[in-house]
Amino acid sequence: MKRLLASVLALAMVLGVCLFAGCNDEPEATTTKKPADTVETTTGDKTTTEPTNPGTETTTNNDEPTETTTGEPEGPIEPEEWDGTTKLPGYEDVDFRGKTFVIAGYTGSADGFDNVREIYSEDTDAIAVAVKERNQYIELRYNCNIEVNASDAPGGLVSAEVTSGKHTIDIYSNKYAVGTSATSGNNYNLYSLGIDFTQDWWDQNYVKANTVKNSAGIDTLYSIVGDFAFSASSLTHALMFNKNLYETAIAQELGYDIYQLVRDGKWTMDVFIEMVQKAGKDVSGNQSFAYSEGDIIGWATTIHATHGLHVASGLPMITTTNGTMSFAMSNAKSEWTNVIEKAIDVWALPQHDNCGYSSGQQAIVSGNTLFYSDIISKLEESTLRDSDTAVGLVPYPKYSTTQENYAHYVDNHLMTYSVPTSVVEIEELGDFFTIYAAHTTAIVRPAWIDAYAYEYCGDADSGEMLEIILNTRTYDPGYLIFSSFEGEISQQINAGKNNITKLIDKRYDSIAGPGGSIEKHIKDISDNKA
């Protein structure tokens, strides 16, 4: 069924692109692949040759270019009222006069995490087709070309260009670099590009977490994500569940409708515990639960699920409010104590097995676990994608029904986007970046949601759950900038020792005190003159 739905979805997208290309009232676009150039990057004693524009696409427009006029939108633009096939409201007069914009992305050959396909792909799946359609509309409507520079080290290419004064790359992605993107000196403060970051095509949670005032009181933001950054969605940690096991062990036995629980805000840790305990079966008869022994477990995890457990509370480690970064935990010791205590109880459930990546995926496919915690992109991998197992998707549970929102974290393989200081026409680039982000939200996001809902999960409910998950992502600096601190919290959950108050007191000075991590980060941003 999943394969049939995937085929129908991809066919519909392909037909849409074909119809678009055949419209008589539009200039004909010709897409070609440009040969790769090379740039030598030297690190230490090692010199490597990197591609500067492999697999780039060039679109030739036969219309005469016109003068460029930039229009600013008045008030927030509602993406649902605009489908991305026409010019973005407020940008009707923008004409880039045939300019080529180069976006550098990761090939993923080093660690398997790539993002080139979100810029351009020759694949025929529904998401790739939507990406091509977005590019076609942007190129034709605004008289420009989009090229992808596929590299395993986009940051290295940019650093070389900034140092040499060369400029070929306009926008590039960075990995493990939320903090260093703001302090390296290679990137513009994105607010200087004239971009309105209140619009929904920019991830508002990311904007709030990473808009930091420098020592002069100026708002700074050096990296950004939105629907154009697939990793911000696909690397979100959430819960998958085996729908067959759920129907027999939970829906029939306990009478729960898990999707409705989520909608009603009643999907809590207590309900999760009840389901995990109910689903577990000691098949081996040795009074314990383990996937490796053929048992049916309630919850399969990797070690990173401890992180997901405490983030699910919605309590931040470090927060940024109106541009000011602070150690939020120091003012919420009681709340954190309760959360860690509950998380320890959940982690210690006998029906839970921290069995790892491959075993966790195999367990949910074989029906040997009810729940499996991992990044959402695992649904795309062959183990789950090519199986006939019906898999659903839900958020991490709340800690109580009074908790305002569900909450999730995004893995630190997150690939954010920045604009290098080698770019000269920054306002023009700001217009292009806005247009690129807005058309992605209008055209690509629906295809991405549908692919996960119908191709990978096979039901509309999972699509609704995915929207909830994406709307409750967090980008806590306590993890993405000061990563070692989160590990100390997760270790307490794994070890079953709740010493969170002592940890907060112990780390206060090193994080929030004079010369601490936060102050140093602000100083490094302030010293960055980009």
Instruction: Indicate whether 11 belongs to any domain.
Output: no
- Same structural domain, 118 and 240: no
Instruction: Indicate whether 384 belongs to any domain.
Output: yes
- Same structural domain, 294 and 208: no
Instruction: Indicate whether 20 belongs to any domain.
Output: no
- Same structural domain, 66 and 147: yes
Instruction: Indicate whether 24 belongs to any domain.
Output: no
Report the run of H or E that residue 394 belongs to, with start and end.
strand 391-394
pTM beyond cutoff 0.95:
no
Q: Which residue has the tokens 């460029």?
A: 68
31: confidence class by pLDDT, cuts 50, 70, 90: very low
Instruction: Indicate whether 7 belongs to any domain.
Output: no
CATH code, 298: 3.40.190.10
The percent of residues in the chain predicted with pLDDT above 90, rounded, is 82
Backbone φ, ψ for residue 372 (5° rounding): -140, 125
**What six digits make up the tokens of 173?**
């992605």
Instruction: Indicate whether 378 belongs to any domain.
Output: yes
| Residue that is last in its domain, among 422, 443, 460 | 460
- Same structural domain, 84 and 179: yes
Instruction: Indicate whether 12 belongs to any domain.
Output: no
| Residue that is last in its domain, among 460, 482, 498 | 460
- Same structural domain, 90 and 175: yes
- Same structural domain, 297 and 337: yes
Where are the strands (E) in 214-284, listed by range? Answer: 219-220, 237-242
- Same structural domain, 405 and 294: yes
- Same structural domain, 405 and 469: yes
Would you say 454 and 392 are in contact if contact means Cβ atoms under 8 Å apart?
Answer: no
DSSP 335-390: HHHHHHHHHHHHHT-TTEE---HHHHHHHHHHTSEEEEEEEGGGGGSHHHHTS---
Instruction: Indicate whether 2 belongs to any domain.
Output: no
Residue 332, pLDDT above cutoff 50? yes
pLDDT, average across residues 13-33: 44
Q: What long-range pairs does 61-68 form, CB within 8 A, spacing at least 24?
A: 61/27, 61/29, 61/98, 61/139, 61/140, 61/143, 62/27, 62/28, 63/27, 63/143, 65/95, 65/97, 65/98, 65/143, 66/95, 66/97, 66/143, 67/95, 68/93, 68/94, 68/95, 68/96, 68/97, 68/428
- Same structural domain, 226 and 281: no
Instruction: For 458-512, write each residue's pLDDT tens digit.
Output: 889 999 999 999 999 999 999 999 988 999 999 999 999 999 999 999 999 999 9
What is the pLDDT at residue 65?
Answer: 37
- Please tell me what DSSP assigns to residue 444: I
- Same structural domain, 401 and 269: yes
- Same structural domain, 269 and 349: yes
**What six digits make up the tokens of 411?**
């893995």
Domain of residue 349, residue span: 236-412+465-527
Report the alpha-carbon distance of residue 300 to residue 352 in Å, rounded. Answer: 6
Q: How many domains does the chain have?
A: 2
Q: Which of 41, 30, 31, 28 lies closest to 169 in space, CA to CA? A: 41
- Same structural domain, 244 and 158: no
* CB contact set of 226 (below 8 Å; sequence gap of 6+): 201, 202, 203, 232, 437, 440, 441
Instruction: For 57-77, write each residue's pLDDT tens digit.
Output: 444 444 433 333 444 445 555
Q: Which of 187, 160, 189 lies closest to 173 in space, CA to CA? A: 187
Q: Which of 105, 103, 99 lies closest to 145 in space, CA to CA? A: 99
Residue 121, pLDDT above cutoff 70? yes
Instruction: For 361-398, write each residue's pLDDT tens digit.
Output: 999 999 999 999 999 999 999 899 999 999 999 999 99
